[in-house]
Amino acid sequence: MSKTLMIAGCGDVGSRLARCLAPSGWTLYGLRRDVARLPAEVLPVAGDLQQPVCPAAWPQGELDYLVYSAAASQHDEAGYRSAYVGGLRNVLGWLAERGQRPRRLVFVSSSGVYGQAGGEWIDERSPAEAQGYSGRIMREAEELALASGLPATLVRLTGIYGPGRQWLLNQVRQGYRVASEPPLYANRIHADDAAGLLAFLLRADAEGAELADCYLGVDDEPAPLHEVVGWLRERLGVTEWAEENSVRRAGSKRCSNARARALGWAPQYPSYREGYAAVLSEAV
């Protein structure tokens, strides 16, 4: 099954996606500023999603799929709008210039579009009405993808962790203290599973499956943050506590992966325990 895929914004997850698909014979293009960091399986396209001029190395032939997987380098409202809304608009313009019409656009989004904060279960049908600028702008970008005229699927990834993503581990080593009541639920997905879900959806579409317009990318077990921290403290041998609670997140919700599972996907790391065990073993 040979297909052609452009990964616009081919960073960590995009590179892992390419490694998933390469053995199946897919032709893989990856667009990023620093193409030296692309894996060997990817045909490099040096460019900036936030610049309106199409990159010189943009492929001329047919593209079967487009995955838009940008990351904001500037973490403010202007930076988010430029990366997600402006960047996607630019790519859609490049496709139009070349008469390219992928059979599906996959837009990599975030569960940050949800504003729920009471620990409730949510799925793809739940209201996505975040009040913060990041969630609002991501929702605007989602709407642009869905109105693009291309068949489009949103993949709302939850907190991605894995090799090179050490924030929580570093916080735990410093005595990160999290209140247990009320529980602050957090959702996560290992970077390999995030890429694996994207690859699964692309293969399913290529094989003729009917995709929904949105999937949540999350493991099987949303868990209270204090439970995750306690488990990591034990594995890391941390005995000291920071003097004060230090939680930067205000949201609390439990995301369901039932829709993706119903299509046949299953995470390699079903909970934080398997995922962080792998991260810690690789760090040894």
What are 123-174's pLDDT values in tens digits?
Answer: 999 999 999 999 999 999 999 999 999 999 999 999 999 998 989 999 999 9
Query: Smallest Cα–Cα separation from 93: which of 52, 37, 43, 139?
Result: 52
Phi, psi angle pair for 82, to nearest 5°: -65, -40
Phi, psi angle pair for 107, to nearest 5°: -105, 120
Q: Which CATH superfamily is domain 4-283 in?
A: NAD(P)-binding Rossmann-like Domain (3.40.50.720)
What average pLDDT score do residues 63-86 get? 95
Contact (Cβ atoms closer than 8 angstroms) between residue 33 and residue 48: yes
Q: Is the pLDDT of residue 107 over 80?
A: yes
Look over the chain and give the mean of its residue pLDDT values, rounded to a whole number: 94
DSSP-derived 3-state class of residue 195: helix
What average pLDDT score do residues 91-111 get? 97
What is the pLDDT, as a whole number, of residue 140?
Answer: 97
Contact (Cβ atoms closer than 8 angstroms) between residue 139 and residue 111: no
pTM for the model: 0.96
Query: Smallest Cα–Cα separation from 141: which of 102, 89, 215?
Result: 89
**For 58-74, how does the pLDDT look when each residue is reduced to its tens digit (9 = 90+)?**
999 999 999 999 999 88
**For 12-31, how does the pLDDT look when each residue is reduced to its tens digit (9 = 90+)?**
999 999 999 999 999 999 99
Q: Is the pLDDT of residue 249 over 60?
A: no
Q: What is the DSSP secondary-structure string of 70-131?
A: ---SS-SHHHHIIIIIIHHHHHHHHHHHTT---SEEEEEEEGGG----SSEEE-TTS-----
Contact (Cβ atoms closer than 8 angstroms) between residue 111 and residue 249: no
* Domain ranges within the chain, ordered by starting residue: 4-283
Share of the chain above pLDDT 90, in %: 88
Q: What pairing do the DSSP bridges indicate for beta strands 185-186 and 152-157?
A: unpaired
Q: Which residues contact 113 (CB under 8 A, 6 or more apart)?
A: 128, 130, 135, 138, 139, 142, 156
Q: How confident is the model at residue 75 (pLDDT cuts 50, 70, 90)?
A: confident
β-bridge mates for residue 188, sequence order: 159
- Identify residue 241 by its one-letter amino acid code: W
What is the pLDDT, as a whole number, of residue 22?
Answer: 96
DSSP-derived 3-state class of residue 32: strand
**For 198-226, how does the pLDDT look when each residue is reduced to its tens digit (9 = 90+)?**
999 999 999 999 999 999 999 999 999 99
Q: Which residues contact 40 (CB under 8 A, 6 or more apart)?
A: none
